[in-house]
Amino acid sequence: MTTRHLLPRPLPLLCLAGGLAALGLSACSTQVEPEPVVPISLNEGVAGLPYRDTIKALPGSTPTANMFISSGHLPSGLKLTYYKEGQQSTLDGTPASRGTYHFTITDQCYSTQRRGDTFHRHYSLTVQ
């Protein structure tokens, strides 16, 4: 399983390839893939008023099997719903209280060549 933390632009990374080979460690250089999950940031909400935003897997990205909150929590009154047909999720509801909420949405892939890959997008949602 591969885990990728999404960054604003491709950056060089050092990866380990081949594990321990004859008690030596081999390394390779690689690039972080373009961000497959958008938007980068969410719209602000207002306590007591309906809120809706959409989180999408970009076309051409590895097909998405699921999107879910993997850490943190949403404001009370909001929920994340994944729609496989559209490769997207909606974040909607009516936030109950003001504050800044931090959470991570994980996009889990299912293609045969990249089964188990996950992409993480960290969000901060401000509710006024």
- The CA distance from 72 to 94, in Å, is 18
pLDDT of residue 44: 97
Query: What order do you get walking across the sheet with 88-93 strand by strand?
Result: 37-38, 51-57, 88-93, 78-83
What domain count does the chain have?
A: 1
Quote the DSSP letter at residue 45.
B
pTM for the full model? 0.67
Domain assignment present for residue 3? The answer is no
Domain assignment present for residue 15? The answer is no
pLDDT of residue 125: 97
Domain assignment present for residue 30? The answer is no
Per-residue model confidence as pLDDT tens digits over 1-50: 555 554 444 433 333 334 434 434 434 333 445 457 789 899 999 999 99
pLDDT of residue 47: 98
**φ, ψ of residue 84 in degrees (nearest 5):** -60, -40
CATH of the domain at 103: 2.60.40.10
Domain assignment present for residue 11? The answer is no
Domain assignment present for residue 77? The answer is yes
Amino acid identity of 20?
L
pLDDT of residue 57: 79
Per-residue model confidence as pLDDT tens digits over 46-73: 999 999 999 987 765 567 778 899 999 9
Question: Which structural domain range is residue 47 located in?
Answer: 35-127
Type and span of the H or E element at 93:
strand 88-93
Side-chain half-sphere CA neighbours of 80 within 13 A: 23
